[in-house]
Structure 1
Amino acid sequence: MSTFTMDTGTSRATPSPVPGKRTTAPSIRARKIAGEDGLRTEQPIVMLTAYTMRMAQLLDPHCDMLLVGDSLGQVIYGLPSTIPVTLEMMCAHGAAVVRGSWHALVAVDMPFGSYEASPVQAFESAARIMKETGCAAVKLEGGEAMAPTIDLLTKRGVPVIGHVGLTPQAVNVLGGYGARGREEHEAQKIIADAKAVADAGAFCIVVEGVMEQIATAVARSVAPPVIGIGASADCDGQVLVIDDMLGMFERTPRFVKRYDDLAARIGEAARAYAEEVRARTFPTADQTYRPKPSP
């Protein structure tokens, strides 16, 4: 395997050998075992989103999985939702994240409209993603309705991460991004969706934006590991959007914990730079090229 480091001469990523093996879908699946209180992982699975090569480099040593989420539509491109995201976007960013990582399993979201029409359409899209990015898995949203698609993909060699609960691609049907499962019928639907996705062959399931007790029930009742986001600490792992947890935006969902305030620090660095440029104190002799003194 290889990882990618910054070449100081060109400021571009160049491969360098690194010992070790990349995390695989079967190894993630195998971390869920039977315990006294139901199925669970002994050590929770760590997942974060990544959209660029450099961010992948920084996150890879700490994560079991990196998700190239269609959240890049909002985070990178300033789109109002994930709906306008294209396969081309996902392939470009997915390839960058694969180039920047060597340890974590890289999964790529299948964007809206690329898989819902039929299992065959889904396979064609997934095959393109895997060929163009080198990723190890794809993620798609939906429960029971997507079970035949997940079944076909897994049988044709495409590892699949399911996604139930709050499904952002269905925001227009759901009517917003509020937590799901407040009513009993919806809670039972989420649990049934998770079981259908698990039975169809998903090696992992993301459960997003649901009432805590529902996420716990799902995690204890299905065989694949359950990765929570706005769900429960009892899930088999957790995922967050990297820009949210680093404090890159003023507004973040309630379930996000900010581990830094990079927006403020970047703004301060830009302010200091602007002041020095306007005062002509940058660049200095250390940042300019001058003739070497004659011997």
Structure 2
Amino acid sequence: MTVRVNQFFDWKQQGRPVAVLTAWDFMSGRIADQAGADIVLVGDSLAMVALGYETTLPLTFEEMLHHAKAARRGVDQALFVVDLPFLSYQVDISGAMRSAGRMLKEAGAQAVKVEGGYLRMAQTIEALVESGIPVMGHVGLTPQSVNLIGGFRKQGKSPEAADRILQEAIAIEKAGAFSIVLEHIPAELAKTITETLTITTIGIGAGQHCDGQVLVTADVLGLSDWQPPFAKRYVDLQEAGVDAARQFCEDVRSQAFPL
């Protein structure tokens, strides 16, 4: 079954959990899609996973577009969502429209994801949705604001911060987003947001009460040198890959390969 944006409201009403995996190229897109992910997200985490940057901030729009095009060729069934990278949508609404439109037209995105929930961002989301572009929101730990929030720390721990995130989530829903990522916030706050909203909440480090969960596929496969405490490594492909490559090098030097 091919996943569409309008299915998520029904799935929330039915209590059907949503599984989301990230992708950064054709192979990772195909793996996530064939695994049965409901959403394949080309997250700006590819800045670190695929390009070796320390944060998501250096990632350019053209780099993101290039990787999204590649990942799209591996996805047949899942909803294909693409992050808009830093400064490709924050300057003004017209710039956000151009960036999102290019992702749909050139990369085949079916929706875009934007970070932040302040009034200005809600206005941007509303404009995108009114133009026919589905939007996924993102509150809590927003990696593109890493310098403002002082690192990759859990957000919403004080009552004031928790209420601000809740109000941001409400504003994003009112703006017309079809879903929202809740990243690295207390589980009780995520539960409150999930129960308050009618749109799908996707948790990452936000406990078990969200409507769905997302992980970076590189973390799932054990390809990351470092992963956050809330991630789960299901297999260690990095170690297995290094071992296989080392064996090849040894076979070449001992002339065991080729046979």
- Report TM bin, short chain: over 0.9
Which structure has greater strand proportion? 1
Task: Pick from 99, 103, 111 the counterpart of residue 85 of structure 2.
Answer: 111
Native 8 Å contact 1:204 1:227 kept in 2: yes
Shift of 1:101: 1.1
Shift of 1:28: 2.1
Shift of 1:206: 0.3
The whole-number CA distance in structure 2 between the counterparts of 1:261 and 1:185 is: 40
| Structure 1 residue runs without a partner (length 5+) | 1-19, 34-40, 285-295
Task: Pick from 29, 54, 72 the counterpart of residue 98 of structure 1.
Answer: 72
| Structure 2 residue runs without a partner (length 5+) | none
Letter of the aligned partner of 2:118 in structure 1? Answer: E
Match of 1:32 in 2: 12
Match of 1:252 in 2: 227
Match of 1:131 in 2: 105
Task: Return structure 1 stretches of 4+ with deviation > 2 angstroms.
Answer: none
The whole-number CA distance in structure 2 between the counterparts of 1:77 and 1:101 is: 21
Q: Within 5 Å, give how 1:228-267 maps onto structure 2.
A: 228-267=203-242
Task: Pick from 191, 196, 199 the counterpart of residue 221 of structure 1.
Answer: 196
Q: Is residue 2:149 matched to residue 1:169?
A: no
- In terms of Rg, which structure is larger? 1
Match of 1:7 in 2: none
Match of 2:185 in 1: 210
Letter of the aligned partner of 1:278 in structure 2? Answer: R
Q: Within 5 Å, give how 1:1-295 maps onto structure 2.
A: 20=1, 22-33=2-13, 41-61=14-34, 62-145=36-119, 146-284=121-259
Shift of 1:281: 1.0
Letter of the aligned partner of 2:147 in structure 1? Answer: N
Shift of 1:43: 1.5
Match of 1:290 in 2: none
Match of 1:8 in 2: none
> How many matched pairs?
257
SS at match of 1:30: helix
Question: Larger deviation: 97-106 or 164-173?
Answer: 97-106
Letter of the aligned partner of 1:79 in structure 2? Answer: Y
Which structure has greater helix proportion? 2
SS at match of 1:158: coil
SS at match of 2:59: coil
Q: What's the RMSD between the two structures over aligned residues?
A: 1.0
Letter of the aligned partner of 1:216 in structure 2? Answer: K
The whole-number CA distance in structure 2 between the counterparts of 1:25 and 1:42 is: 16
The whole-number CA distance in structure 1 between the counterparts of 2:107 and 2:54 is: 25
Question: Larger deviation: 117-126 or 66-75?
Answer: 117-126
The whole-number CA distance in structure 1 between the counterparts of 2:253 and 2:9 is: 56
Native 8 Å contact 1:97 1:106 kept in 2: no
Shift of 1:135: 1.1
